[in-house]
A and B are shown apart, each in its own frame.
Chain A
């Protein structure tokens, strides 16, 4: 981003509340149209879902502590696996990024609110409905769906009513995401302050703009895929039912046409957050701003062209394997540009290592490992060997936990002073980072070796030779889960008004319009648009 300075931020910015009543009580939240309130609700919701999905993960790890069946039958184990994935993706990671978008995009582009404030409210309130359907499906006859988060046919055609709960939940959460994405695109394109050209926008807005286009393009594909599942299950069609002339592999193609861009939907906003944090704590402008924008767009375009690398084991022709293999490898180029730019931003900077910066550097380090294992998995012959093993589980957790989640934590610490008006507890923040970083690697690093040794994913039982690494992973998982309670405490402490009062701009090297308003950000901001130089 070129240096953005607000030429004209009205002096009354912090006093807008006098002119417009701030709603109180439950009505403030139920009928919320203010982007900050809705952002807060998104963030609280996603953290609750993180805890629910995390609890399911710990139940899985408890069962896997020893070979044999200790606590759960395989059917229930597979329900936990499925719901862990669905809840984490659709309930935790995606809504968390939308929460960040709601809070920060209007503040960063100098808009008074999101373009469609009432639709914003509706987008949020669909989320609890979806969450209730996911959670409630455990109580359906036969329990929740056990088909895996990918809901592959024909298994998903044979599941009980829990599958219908999941399909409906995906419809609802998908509708919420689409509305959120439309809102973000329109807000960024139409609501920017005078002088805030696209190439002056903070990179977080850019990454979200591109992510929103991805969502608009692929969420309807997922909706269509699960609708076809629904009609196959109940309305006599045979899209994916081989017995009726359908093709189960067609489901995989349609699903992964959504599923691969979905990976980038969950990581591109993380790139935007890291691109805000690194320059602030390196006290240097972001290196290669324009190349960051183009790299983000390149990753998004390529994400549409590589879906079948998830399907090397379906017996596709060699030419198809070669195409998807090389196309997948191409993504490493724009991703490498980003890693290079973050490192170059830090190069000879006046670095300090507050908690947001620790999470950003942790992200760069561990996400890169996840990227490398992704490159290894792109090689078709290797992928066929390790397909559906713990190697894949390790890979995508390095990308989604150390990638998306670390960036979310970094962003939360970075903007918490703006949200709460209080500085968070730096000592506890650092404890949270180191505990999370170490326990994450204790949990997931051994999974690479489990996978290479042949341990399949989604199994409740395993051969005795895998015991040691499974036990290490389980200990790490509980450690990781407990570490998140530190984060909860730090956030609650800041929200309850304990801690040093935060200035408008708590980070010396931070740039952007969000730091021109007081901390905490007033209920109404930029009602008179600032003029950006």
Chain B
């Protein structure tokens, strides 16, 4: 694996992890909103 590939992998991984956390948070917060 080249350093450039490693860098691109890290960026792509972080973006996907952010998407995961955002979906989790949105589902939870939307559920909380409906509760009120």
Contact = CB atoms under 8 A, between A and B. Distances in A.
Interface of A: 112-113, 115-116, 119, 178, 181-182, 185-186, 189-191, 216-217, 219-221, 223-225, 227-228, 237-239, 245-247, 250, 254
Contact of A254 (B8, B20, B27): B27
B17 to A, nearest CB: 7
Nearest to B14: A182
A358 B30 CA distance: 48
B20 A239 contact: no
| Max chain A C-beta neighbours (<10 A), residue from B24, B31, B35 | B31
Contacts of B12: 115, 185-186, 189-190
A485 B1 CA distance: 41
Contact of B32 (A119, A182, A219, A239): A239
A220 B27 contact: yes
Contacts of B19: 216
Contacts of B13: 115-116, 119, 182, 186
Contacts of B17: 182
B33 to A, nearest CB: 11
A216 B16 CA distance: 8
A115 B34 CA distance: 40
A186 B24 contact: no
A188 to B, nearest CB: 10
Contacts of A220: 20-21, 23-24, 27
B28 A190 contact: no
A531 to B, nearest CB: 16
Interface of B: 1, 5, 8-9, 12-13, 16-17, 19-21, 23-25, 27-28, 31-32, 34-35
A87 B6 CA distance: 35
Q: Return the 10 tightest CB-CB contacts between A and B, nearest first.
A: A224-B27, A220-B24, A220-B23, A115-B9, A182-B16, A186-B12, A224-B28, A220-B20, A190-B8, A224-B24
A216 B9 contact: no
Contacts of B32: 237, 239
A186 B1 CA distance: 13
A216 B24 CA distance: 10
A115 B24 CA distance: 24
Nearest to A228: B31
Contacts of B31: 224, 228, 239, 250, 254
Given A116-B13, A185-B12, A223 B34 contact: no
A220 B30 CA distance: 13
B23 A247 contact: no
Contacts of B35: 237-239, 245-246
A182 B31 CA distance: 26
8 contacts: A186-B9, A186-B12, A190-B9, A216-B20, A217-B23, A224-B28, A228-B31, A254-B31
Contact of B5 (A191, A228, A250, A254): A191
B31 to A, nearest CB: 5
Contact of B1 (A112, A221, A245): A112
A181 to B, nearest CB: 8
A215 B21 CA distance: 13
Nearest to A181: B16
